[in-house]
Chain A
Amino acid sequence: MDSPTHSYGVKRCSPGVFFLWTLPWLGILAWGGLSAVLCLWKGLNQTNMSNVFAFALWIVFDLAVIALGAGAFFTGFLTYIVGKKELKDIINAAVIIGFICYSGAMAMLGIDIGQPLRGWFIFWHANVHSMLVEVSFCITCYLMVLTIEFIPIILENRTLQKVRELRLFGHNLHEIMAVFAATGTFLSFFHQGSLGGMFGVMYARPFAARGGFYIWPWTFFLFVLSAIAAGPLFTILCTKLTEFITRKKLVPDQAVQSLAKISAWLLSLYLVFKFIDTLGWANSLVPKAGLRFMDFYREGPYGFWMVVAELGICGILPAVILMIPKVRQQQGWLIFAGLLTCAGIVLNRFVFIIVTLAIPVMPFDRFWSYLPTWQEWGVGLAVVGYGFLLFSAAYRYLPVFPKEPELNPAAD
């Protein structure tokens, strides 16, 4: 159906069907809301976090969505700084996905810190030598940048366009988007890197600690590379999911293929460095700590299979698929490779957060295990529900895909 609130030349489902679509996501949000209220009211005893697992499911979700949301800054960098014009057809979707990922991560951190009323302490009483403080600063500032990048898309709504003040402001913001894209790239580079660097400087935990360059451990650069390889692929996956649900073509193949090709090269480069890093770590730092490589994979459920899954099945395999143009151009293979890459990056963040803390450090230590409570799952999955709701609303009311009317002439 057509409506004055929808973009020109596109058709959307009826309000009733849209409401039914939002019900499961609203249900997940309600579960998350109840969990959040319990955590804020009764405290973090609602979780299975402990002195050993101070980082747990929420931080895995945080680091995963922040890595997957990197498509926003990197696509912005390619579009506005490098000048890849074809990506203008997908940049709006990338910005909205980035906004969802970062705002969701920030909301989850608000619960994770236990006392959100003291959240401002990290900014006002900053420890300038802490990588986590740098991450907090950069994530907060980058969320501001993403909000500014989102505003012109909101103001392009057909009804809002009728208000002259808003239309002019949206256009004027859009004209200087390169400035915000450059600032976003700077902020993202440092917070993606510092999230990795934080693990690399855990010198008391040989499983995570790494050597590096000046003050930055190699994990700093590996986290940046893995995020800019997986982020654009996550944007492509979200676009393909939207195309599947709406049964429409929304983005020209040229934009998708251009982004997938760049991701393929970055993923390959990341894997080369990751293998060098792993070999260097296993043959140099681990023996210096009095351990052998396989000592880390002896106990618990986290065996050597995780290395094979992360670097082989979710690393080399998608890189090979994406590097071959004829294979990459087939939608099924592209989606399969994208799913594997994103799963690999999530697995990488899981290994650095959970496995690092589970492995014993002292000879008298034991292997620790951790299972999240339903409240932790509730808060984590609420980000997924929120993401589906916001993206659905954006797709319904905003021109997220500028080429949609052209690619679906029957909708006119």
Chain B
Amino acid sequence: MTPFSFEWQWNIDYLLFMGLLYLALTIVGCGVGFALLKTVLQLFGFMRERHF
């Protein structure tokens, strides 16, 4: 459900419930995106590769 869905209501219940869901998804998405971006930059030599 998004704010554009017909069931959406602009009240605190919806904002809290769906807001926290989208916040969690954003954090997870950004984390994976960051790892992917860093990998691409390292592959093309724009960032140094750390050796473990």
Contacts and interface: CB of A to CB of B under 8 A. Distances in A.
A208 interface: no
The 10 A-B pairs at the shortest CB distance, nearest first, are namely A128-B17, A172-B35, A169-B39, A173-B35, A168-B39, A172-B38, A179-B31, A126-B1, A128-B13, A183-B27
B17 to A, nearest CB: 4
Contact of A169 (B1, B17, B36, B50): B36
Q: Secondary structure of the B side of the interface?
A: helix
Contacts of A171: 50, 52
Given A126-B18, A129-B13, A165-B43, A141 B28 contact: yes
A144 B28 contact: yes
Interface string A39-53: 000000000000000
Interface of A: 123-126, 128-129, 134, 137, 141, 144-145, 148, 164-165, 168-169, 171-173, 175-176, 179-180, 183, 186-187
A148 B25 contact: no
Given A125-B7, A171-B52, A187-B24, A164 B43 contact: yes
Interface of B: 1, 5, 7, 13-14, 17-18, 21, 24-25, 27-28, 31-32, 34-36, 38-39, 42-43, 49-50, 52
Contacts of A173: 31-32, 35
Given A124-B5, A172-B35, A180 B28 contact: yes
A77 B13 CA distance: 28
B24 A141 contact: yes
A122 B13 CA distance: 17
A145 B43 CA distance: 25
Given A124-B1, A186-B24, A187-B24, A176 B18 contact: no
A169 B13 contact: no
B44 to A, nearest CB: 11
Given A128-B14, A134-B17, A176-B34, A165 B27 contact: no
Contacts of A126: 1, 17-18
A87 B3 CA distance: 42
Contacts of B13: 128-129
B5 to A, nearest CB: 7
